[in-house]
Structure 1
């Protein structure tokens, strides 16, 4: 029986830069960070009050990473999407959406990029 989504793995080029981005810009907390014997470095992050789902950063330093499958995007639920977009702008984050887009039954979304070009999304459910 599948119980929950455990984590989402994201390949990164610079672990320090990615940890800084996910902690300082998105407000996540670094839970664990370790280097494996084969040189791969892992960093596990989650939100401070919720460790139910983690993002696993996967880096290999300057060797680069094998060309494997890519995560399409990671979505984060927010309560005030425009305020979050404005906050990203203050950090100089590259935005795909300068203003939120409405989808489905009034949900709001906005896409932006992480430090390695990973596609990230803010999601505000309808009625909030």
Structure 2
């Protein structure tokens, strides 16, 4: 995967959120007359980025669920991750992690622009 694009409502707030919560850094940020954009990356995985887009004057409403359903982050221990992110103010959509198809566990929550995010603990082999 190269990148995932997310429509955001507040660029500064969103960059701060992804930096504070997950350790993302800004690779590139700029704007035109119609759009503000930023590309975020993780030092451990620089080839995969999150593209943030804020349309200055949107030409239409965006679909709430969007075409991209969610953005997932792998964690080593989901219970540890849940406790960590709860302390940072994240409210999860379920009280407990749910099973994944492959036998791991996952939990969902919303980011600052209501983008759907997921933590995934893979099956330990």
Shift of 1:39: 2.8
1:11·1:65 contact (CA, 8 Å) conserved in 2? no
TM-score for the superposition, normalised by structure 1: 0.85
Match of 2:39 in 1: 44
Structure 1 vs Structure 2 CA RMSD: 1.8
Deviations 1:69-88 (A, max 9, x none): 51210011111111111121
Point out 4+ residue stretches in structure 1 off by more than 6 angstroms. Answer: none
TM-score for the superposition, normalised by structure 2: 0.87
Q: Distance in 1 between matches of 2:95 and 2:124?
A: 21
Between 15-24 and 79-88, the greater mean CA deviation after superposition: 79-88
Shift of 1:64: 4.8
Q: 1:116 to 1:65 in 2, by over 3 A?
A: farther
3-state DSSP class of the match of 1:95?
coil
Q: What is the number of equivalent residue pairs in this alignment?
A: 122
Structure 1 gap segments, 5+ residues each: none
Choose the corresponding residue for 1:56, options 51, 59, 65.
Answer: 51
